[in-house]
Amino acid sequence: MSLSTHTTQDLLDQLQSGQLTSTELVTTCLDRIDAHDERIGAFLHFEREPALQQAAEIDRRRQAGGTLGALAGLPVAIKDNICANGTRTTCASRMLENFVPPYDAHIIERLRQADAVLLGRTNLDEFAMGSSCENSAFQQTRNPWDTERTPGGSSGGSAAAVAAGMTPLSIGSDTGGSIRQPAAFCGVVGMKPTYGRVSRYGLVAFASSLDQIGPFANDVTGVSRLLEVLAGHDERDSTSIDRRVPAYSQNLDQPLDGLRIGIAKEHFVEGLHPEVEQAVRSAVDVYRSLGAEIKEVTLPHSKYCVAVYYIVAPSEASSNLARYDGVHYGFRAEKFDNMIDMYSATRGEGFGDEVKRRIMLGTYALSAGYYDAYYLKALKVRRLIRQDFDRAFEEVDVIASPVTPTPAFKIGELIDDPLAMYLTDIYTISANLAGLPGVSLPCGFSSEGLPIGLQLQAAPFEEERLLRAARMYERETDWHTRRPAMNSNSAS
């Protein structure tokens, strides 16, 4: 087995005991990227030397007996919409193709303090808008389990990189499922924390009331170790919550006594692939066999979540993306008549189709005469969706559901039908609207050999319980240990 497919905890133990150096580990990861990424396309850009220098420095400090951070020597790949000082951050957009941030995001500071090695920058749908990486201005990431299929999105590069064993850990952002959906499609573990648990400072904004940064790993322990580093208060993000960060990994292996699992009938309706339903129901049976109480809950407004999301998210995006004006940073069109035309030409040429569609949708929903009917209405239904969850979490500790209605779809399959693409987010969006933490973990494979994800959601700030519940299932199953067969580079 290649080093880069070991679990996070294995690698940390080996690094600490001296069986493995960070230089060896980072070299293995970089070699694997070299060998396979021409085919997978997970990374937009990476630099070998700086990563190896970081690794060598950590090895040197370890040998000298110095105190090291919580992730010392472990490589972490970063979604290319999170700013790191001096590292190009493109958002997979022509608009930011040459943008080099002059500062570190909060989570980049945290990773540096933890002595993680920043491995490279992963592909995404432009500005994190999409569910397949098809909206990247630069390349298509392919699903390591079947390269005809998408890895999901928007954090598809980060999910594919972990699945392909190119890195043990990676970072994504989740606005409507952009961590959990690619985790499910690629057969890895991905988590969206509670809104406000991780600082958004330095995350390029898409929809500010929904965006949240979170971890990917090949098991629940890896995700927990990474979340311990990412989480915590930061005064530069005024929506970041000042609350103690539990040691998520500490009691992870202790099963939860009297765990109550909720199943919502609204999650098992038309459109759900029978093999996905079967895998999720079997996962619930595993919990039952472990002594968990399974209760039916109702989320009567869940059928509205996609409609609410596709008003709220584009509205916020239309405002956030107003900053791309061809003046302060980023792309500027070459030909224009005057100042206003410069703005319009710059934005018309610099943004891709989906980004323009969403800006238009949001601009329309916020415009005079339509604001009440669309935006305000959506915010009211958003509260009803949250209230459904508040009631459900009086009865149960976590809600189990599918992550996606189907396994990974084919590249090109949905690209001409935005609404059908949006509807693939039906199970993940509500956690963003309601601010809840949610995790996706492997729970089976389709008859075509594609991974299937189990989603668990909990009440706000219940990450500790959520991760322990996820680990209970993971301990009983071996889905998370399966890896895609990685053939060497060849043009497909």
Annotated active-site residue in 22, 79, 132, 224: 79
Rounded-to-integer distance, Cα 458 and Cα 435, Å: 10
Q: Does 53 bind other proteins (CB under 8 A)?
A: no
The whole-angstrom separation of Cα 195 and Cα 407 is 27
Q: Which stretch binds other proteins (CB under 8 A): 105-113, 168-176, 268-276, 325-333?
A: 325-333
* Residue 93 designated active-site: no
- Contact between 170 and 151 under an 8 Å Cβ cutoff? The reply is no
Using the minimum distance from each CB to other proteins, give the nearer residue, 221 or 320: 320
Min CB(464)–other proteins separation in Å: 17
323 binds other proteins, rule: CB under 8 A? no
Residue placing its CB nearer to other proteins in the complex, 263 or 306: 306
CA distance 332 to 339: 11
From the list 354, 296, 357, the residue with the least C-alpha distance to 130 is 354
Looking only at residues 299 through 318 of this chain, which bind other proteins when binding is defined by CB under 8 A?
A: 301, 303-304, 306-308, 310-311, 318
Stretch that binds other proteins, among 118-126, 152-160, 182-190, 328-336 (CB under 8 A): 328-336
Minimum distance of other proteins from residue 264's CB (angstroms): 18
Residues within window 356-395 making contact with other proteins, judged by CB under 8 A: 356-357, 359-361, 363-364, 367, 373-374, 376-384, 386
Assess 245 for contact with other proteins (CB under 8 A): no
| Pair 144, 151: CB distance under 8 Å | yes
DSSP states of 142-176 as a string?
-BTTBTTB---SSSHHHHHHHHTTS-SEEEEEESS
Region binding other proteins by CB under 8 A among candidate stretches 143-151, 170-178, 329-337, 439-447? 329-337
Q: How far apart are CA 359 and CA 364, in angstroms?
A: 8
Contact status: 138 vs other proteins (CB under 8 A): no
Please tell me which residue in 93, 132, 155, 178 is annotated as part of the active site.
Answer: 178
Residue 184 sits at the vertex; the CA angle it makes with 482 and 28, to the nearest 5 degrees, is 50
Stretch that binds other proteins, among 23-31, 54-62, 96-104, 265-273 (CB under 8 A): 96-104
- Candidates 31, 275, 349, 395; binder of other proteins (CB under 8 A) is 349
Q: 265-268: long-range contacts (C-beta < 8 A, 24 or more apart)?
A: 265/296, 265/298, 266/298, 266/299, 266/300, 266/302, 266/303, 267/299, 267/302, 267/401, 267/402, 267/427
Verify whether residue 178 is a known catalytic residue: yes
Site for other proteins in 429-488 (CB under 8 A): 432-436, 460
Annotation marks residue 224 as catalytic: no
**Residue 138 burial by Cβ neighbours in a 10 Å radius (0-12, 13-18, 19+):** middle
Residue number, 296 or 341, with CB nearest to other proteins: 341
Please select the residue that binds other proteins; options are 9, 27, 53, 209, rule is CB under 8 A.
209
